[in-house]
Amino acid sequence: MIRFLVKGLLRDRSRLLFPIIIVTIGVLLTVFLHAWIGSLMSDIIRSSAAFSTGHVRILTKAYAENEDQIPNDLALLDVSEQLQRLQRAFPEMNWACRIRFGGLLDIADESGETQAQGPTFGMAVDLLADNRAAEMGRLNIATAVVRGHLPTRSGEILISDEFASRLGIEPGDQATFLGSTMHGSMTMGNFTIAGTLRFGVPPMDKAALIMDVADAQMLLDMHDAAGEILGYFPHAIYDHSRAAAIAAAFNEPYSHSQDEFDPVMLTLKQQNGLGDYIDMAEGFAGILVTVFIIAMSIVLWNAGLLGGLRRYGEIGVRLAIGEYKGHIYRSMIAESMVIGLVGSIIGTAVGSALVYYIQVHGIDFSSMFENSGLMMNMQVRTRVTAQTFYLGFIPGLFATVLGTMLAGIGIYRRKTAQLFKEFEG
């Protein structure tokens, strides 16, 4: 008997293939939408983590309070020792010093007179130290180079391409930085422009300068000091509960101290209102995905319902021939489970493959905008998560089976003779 029913199912395209296609499409859309929304959020988190907040960020309490003034006089001291301690305590994290600073970039002509000058916003990152691969990777520096090359030795800097054009300089040219040290005295240094960058962020494209940390420490008289130390989880994936635990452990020894030069560790969520943003985005994404799953469920539920109703005639004949109602009901539900399961598996497989493909290759919108070499990610990327693998089964399996169950109740509720009338009519 089971063989008989399976045979019928396999031969009947309207009963097997089409429902499976519908379920597959529904599941695929659910899986894809979920992954895409998730990745939109994580892109924002990623770029914010890369450029400013880290996954966790250490600065002095005083610096934290006056952050917008970039008060390097309140910078962290003895950072190499601090770094070693952090590396030992949290070996899974990558730790990096950064210094932010402001000043003037001055271009001289042959006679030494100023030819062009402009205010600049500097960011010192590891361009030459051991940690350079991690830092340049997360900041996308290599792909953001428009002209010239990456710094290979001390004294080389990168500036934004737009800024370079405005100042009329090219890779290889000299520039003088004028600013103040962390102790407030005047400083200046000569640098070679190694290359120019396009960030994709207007304020940075206007006047940004990127320098190696060691050069900046020298320039700003910040011996073994840094404005901030950023910590990153592996694979650039922010794990808030872990970050909160690390921050709590780090901050514990300083909790009763009033010293404003004590370091404090902030999680990504505690900075720039990102916590609110993430909560809101998660809430919004949750609502969107939920609504979509409900909509998909209704579609698939109806498909299950229609599939069941269309078969009242067949059911009538089977009843007339003497099959039990319960047997027919169970076989219908078993069928819809097979359909829901096969559709969900195919939909999830195709959906995750698609999501994974986009995760690896990305859909590159930057070429569409003719902005090649953006430092900011102009790529849409999706990410396969654990939820990718089960979320689709809610509409795919449950709704389909539920629809069939509801349709099947008609078998019980209706008089047997009535099932025929619907068939013949």
Least distance in angstroms from the C-beta of 339 to other proteins: 15
Residue number, 8 or 102, with CB nearest to other proteins? 8
As given in the structure block, the two tokens for residue 171 are 């890779």
Contacting other proteins within 180-209 (CB under 8 A): none
Least distance in angstroms from the C-beta of 11 to other proteins: 4
Least distance in angstroms from the C-beta of 414 to other proteins: 11
**For other proteins, which residue of 11, 88, 235, 256 counts as binding (CB under 8 A)?**
11
Residue number, 175 or 339, with CB nearest to other proteins? 339
Maximal CA-CA distance, the chain: 107
Residue number, 121 or 420, with CB nearest to other proteins? 420
Residue number, 129 or 320, with CB nearest to other proteins? 320
Residues ≥6 apart with Cβ < 8 Å to 293? 30, 391, 394, 395
Residue number, 34 or 318, with CB nearest to other proteins? 318
Least distance in angstroms from the C-beta of 319 to other proteins: 7
Residue number, 351 or 408, with CB nearest to other proteins? 408
As given in the structure block, the two tokens for residue 186 are 């005047």
Binding part of the chain for other proteins, among 7-15, 116-124, 214-222, 380-388 by CB under 8 A, reads 7-15
Residue number, 4 or 185, with CB nearest to other proteins? 4
**For other proteins, which residue of 12, 65, 73, 422 counts as binding (CB under 8 A)?**
12
Residue 7, interface with other proteins (CB under 8 A)? yes
Binding mask 254-293 for other proteins (x = CB under 8 A): ----------------------------------------
Binding part of the chain for other proteins, among 199-207, 337-345, 383-391, 411-419 by CB under 8 A, reads 411-419
**For other proteins, which residue of 143, 201, 420, 422 counts as binding (CB under 8 A)?**
420
**For other proteins, which residue of 235, 256, 413, 415 counts as binding (CB under 8 A)?**
415
Least distance in angstroms from the C-beta of 404 to other proteins: 18
Binding part of the chain for other proteins, among 8-16, 77-85, 196-204, 383-391 by CB under 8 A, reads 8-16
Residue number, 26 or 308, with CB nearest to other proteins? 308
Give the residue among 395, 196, 158 at the shortest CA–CA distance from 296: 395
Give the burial class of 104: count Cβ atoms within 10 A of its Cβ; 0-12 exposed, 13-18 middle, 19 or more buried: middle
Binding part of the chain for other proteins, among 2-10, 212-220, 246-254, 277-285 by CB under 8 A, reads 2-10
Give the residue among 85, 83, 164 at the shortest CA–CA distance from 126: 83
Residue number, 13 or 361, with CB nearest to other proteins? 13
Report d(CA 146, CA 132) in Å as an integer.
19
**For other proteins, which residue of 1, 186, 368, 386 counts as binding (CB under 8 A)?**
1
Contacting other proteins within 298-337 (CB under 8 A): 313-314, 316-317, 319-325
Binding mask 366-405 for other proteins (x = CB under 8 A): ----------------------------------------
Binding site for other proteins (CB under 8 A): 1, 4, 7-8, 11-12, 313-314, 316-317, 319-325, 415-417, 420, 423-424
